[in-house]
Amino acid sequence: MMKNRLILLDNGHGEETVGKRSPVLQDGSQLFEYEFNRDIVKRITKTLDKEKIEYVVLVPELKDISLAERVKRANAHHAECGKHTCLISVHANAGGGTGFEVFTSVDQTKSDEFAQIMFDCFKEEFPEQKMRSDRLDGDDDKESNFYILKNTNCPAMLTESFFMDNLQDLKILMSENGRSRIARAHVNAIKKIVKL
């Protein structure tokens, strides 16, 4: 019997570098990416526990863990677990724009197949939002030599769920409903990916 795939969840950035952050709102609140990434990963793992889907959270610490160390951990789990894995690095976007996008490393690999599933699950969960895609290579994911995508030995993707410097997107990122939808889209994709 084929064993289900192990999901490696990377919640990126620690409290020292915090990653990207939103502008400060009128009520004084502000979104920090490290908090968002961790909260989404926590929500994902709650459902994966219920669904009995195996996962590893790559960064249980609150502090910053270097990309090199995160890749080392991912590759160690991949080597040790004796079955297929898939890494999902969870982020929120900044830099001007709106919507969702998912990255894989350059070239067509298994990562592209899995990233397309993630893209489709977000499209289904957020039909009213912009889906940012690059169709030049025939699929919807964007490709980039991000360190964590390029250096991991397993299929890997990086999700950028909405822009924290866009007030419309920020409402999604800071609301209970928005966060549960973002987590649900991830879980729906994971439920398909673990069987492949």
**Footprint of Zn ion on this chain (CB under 5 A)?**
19, 91
Which CB, 19 or 155, lies closer to Zn ion? 19
Task: Round to whole Å and give the CA distance between 117 and 47.
Answer: 18
Least CB distance to Zn ion at residue 61 (A): 16
Which CB, 97 or 191, lies closer to Zn ion? 97
Least CB distance to Zn ion at residue 50 (A): 27
- Residue identified by tokens 């994966």 is 48
Least CB distance to Zn ion at residue 138 (A): 27
In the chain, the N- to C-terminal Cα span, in Å, equals 13
Strands 142-143 and 55-57: unpaired
For 159, how many CA atoms within 13 A lie in the half-sphere containing its CB?
Answer: 31
Least CB distance to Zn ion at residue 34 (A): 8
- Residue identified by tokens 């499209």 is 123
Least CB distance to Zn ion at residue 87 (A): 15
Which CB, 56 or 158, lies closer to Zn ion? 158
* Residue facing Zn ion at closest CB distance: 91
Least CB distance to Zn ion at residue 160 (A): 7
Which CB, 94 or 154, lies closer to Zn ion? 94
Short-list 181, 12, 25, 191, CA closest to 92: 12
Which CB, 78 or 91, lies closer to Zn ion? 91
Q: How many helices (H) and strands (E) does the chain have?
A: 6, 6
- Residue identified by tokens 């976007």 is 93
Which CB, 73 or 91, lies closer to Zn ion? 91
Short-list 166, 163, 159, CA closest to 41: 159
Strands 85-93 and 142-143: unpaired
Q: Hey, what are 167's tokens?
A: 């007030």
